[in-house]
Structure 1
Amino acid sequence: MMRYVTVIFFLLVLTQCTPSRAWNGSVVRVVDGDSLLIKRDKKVYEIRLYGIDAPEYDQDYSNGAKQEVIRLTAGQTVSVEPKGIGIYGRVIALVTSQGRLVNRELVRDGLAWYYPRYCLEQPLCRELKTLEKKARQARLGLWRANDPISPWVWKHSRKPSASSARFRRRHGRFSYRR
């Protein structure tokens, strides 16, 4: 009997961990190039676009990526296909507007990077990688710059390191700069 209870419990947990089916909602606001607020049944969800990473606020092309998401989704009912929940509680998802996958369009237009660390679904991730390569070769969007820095490298380089914090502490200048 205990074995059956354990199996049933495991199956219930497993079904709660799997992404749900696609749903439709209206875009309330575009937060940045890879985040949107989408309303469904009187509840607003923060959505993070799956498989891509757009420039951060203080990076070149940040506004261009945001404006492209606005252009693709403004006044539209969009389809959201959840892939999971991110570490900040956002729904990680594919978003389709007017038959166009927003995630794909941003990479294709050179306004976002394919994000290999978190893009695990094939064949979509292979396609995003190929689209990024083509955008680089055509020098589209952020690829016009000589050596654009990916957002994950940008964020890491802007955080204070442990060694710099130790230096400031030893020399009477202890503060974490943001």
Structure 2
Amino acid sequence: MRRTVTTLVIAVALLTTACDLRPSPPDFTETTTTSTTLPGAEAVTSTTVTLPPEDERVVGTVIDVVDGDTIDIDIDGTESDLRLLGVNAPEIDECWGQEAAVALTDLIDGQQVLLVSGPEDTDSFGRLLRYVYLESDATPLFVNSHMVETGNAVALSDGSDAAATMKAYEARAFQSGYGMWATFACGDREGVTADRPVIRVEALDYDPPGPDADVLGLEFITIVNEGYDAVPMGGWTLRDESSTNRYVFDGGTVLDVGERITVSTGCDGGPDGALYWCSSQAVWNNDGDTAIILDTLGNAVVWYTY
């Protein structure tokens, strides 16, 4: 069984100046202006896309864009709902949801696209799950990856061949402040400033010994304030890659300098002093996930992946 993660695989706390300068995440290497590497992933070049073989792809026409990761598609005269495989864009009513939908609309609405299946044909809502490619006379575009590269979607750690590559693009998008990762992507009200708090994920026990459902209290994440000022975190949100798992810190929550806060997934049985998510199921995926902390407006303050 894997135990507590005490070293960061990829962890970045937004530490910016008025010019929004961001340090490179540990173990994240920018080898050229278009190439990025992550542990477990080979260097990837965003400007080079190889289309899948013709016998592995289907042609469709985009009828409508629903949001940043969902479209209506016509395939041989049959209209279907389609979800971009391996990515998760903000919901329409969330910060950057409208912008992500516009980005995808500008990219492929009304266009003929190439569709490639993944391990599963549909999701729980009956939507087709596909990788989407936009063919052009110049360089073909891998749409799923492009949405992540431009900061319009989160890459899902689903174990697919594309997952590590897209997560590398997400790391670069966060570091560069693209799209939803910009310092003021969700506004600069309520005292939110460019001098962001230095909060780091110190530990994340995503797979404690035993069946997940029986040890929810022992699944936890610990964050630490490594800055020079106390950070009021009331109303801030801790989330994972999914669209559903959200924990909102109570109004009086303050993370003092050098202090730690632990959030346990369960309702009890966690480390001493832990806050309790009280989720009915495990939050942090055993095969990889991303922890994101958002301020009261939805601006990303912490991004950590394993």
- Is the 1:38–1:47 Cα contact (8 Å) retained in structure 2? yes
Partner of 1:97: 134
Q: Secondary structure at the match of 1:155?
A: coil
What are the Cα deviations for residues 73-121 of structure 1, in whole angstroms up to 9, with x where unaligned? 12310011121211111111101113211101110001100111xx222
Deviation at 1:46, TM superposition (A): 1.0
Alignment partner, residue 33 of structure 1? 68
Superposed, which structure 2 residues align to 1:117-156 within 5 Å? 119-122=158-161, 124-145=162-183, 155-156=244-245
Aligned residues: CA RMSD:
2.3
Residue 43 in structure 1 maps to residue 78 in structure 2? yes
Q: Give the alignment partner of residue 113 of structure 1, picking from 154, 158, 165.
A: 154
Q: 1:148 and 1:75, CA in 2 relative to 1: closer, same or farther beyond 3 A?
A: farther
Task: Identify unmatched segments of 5+ residues in structure 2.
Answer: 1-54, 184-195, 197-235, 248-266, 268-306
Distance (Å, rounded) in 2 between the aligned partners of 1:92 and 1:82: 7
Equivalent pairs, count: 137
- Deviating 4+ runs (over 6 angstroms): 146-149
What 5-or-longer segments of structure 1 have no aligned partner? 1-19, 164-178
2:100 counterpart residue number: 65
Query: What is the identity, as a one-letter code, of the residue corresponding to 1:113?
Result: V
Question: 1:114-141 deviations in whole A, cap 9, x for unaligned?
Answer: 111xx2222x111101000000000111
Matched letter for residue 166 of structure 2? L
Partner AA of 1:87 in structure 2: S
SS in 1 for 2:160: coil
Q: Indicate whether 1:157 and 2:194 are aligned.
A: no
User: Structure 2: how far apart are the matches of 1:71 and 1:150?
Assistant: 28
Counterpart of 1:91, as a letter, is L
Overall identity of the aligned pairs, in %:
26
Q: CA deviation at 1:150?
A: 5.2
Cα distance in 2 for partners of 1:46, 1:154 equals 18
2:93 partner SS? coil
Compute the TM-score of the two structures, normalised by the length of structure 1. 0.69
Deviates more, 1:143-152 or 1:71-80: 143-152
Is the alpha carbon distance of 1:87 and 1:100 closer, same or farther for their aligned partners in structure 2, counting shifts above 3 Å?
A: same
Higher percent of residues as strand: 2
The 1:151–1:24 alpha-carbon spacing in structure 2 relative to 1, beyond 3 Å, is farther
Structure 1 window deviating more from structure 2 (28-37 vs 80-89): it is 80-89
TM-score (norm 2): 0.41
| Offset, 1:157 | 3.2
How far apart are 1:41 and its partner, in Å? 1.4
Give the number of the structure whose residues are more often helix, by fraction.
1
Tell me if structure 2 keeps the 8 A contact 1:95–1:101. Answer: yes
Seen in structure 2, the aligned counterparts of structure 1 residues 21 and 150 have a Cα distance that, compared at 3 Å, is farther
Q: Is the contact made by 1:111 and 1:142 (CA closer than 8 Å) also made in structure 2?
A: yes
Secondary structure of the corresponding residue to residue 64 of structure 2: strand
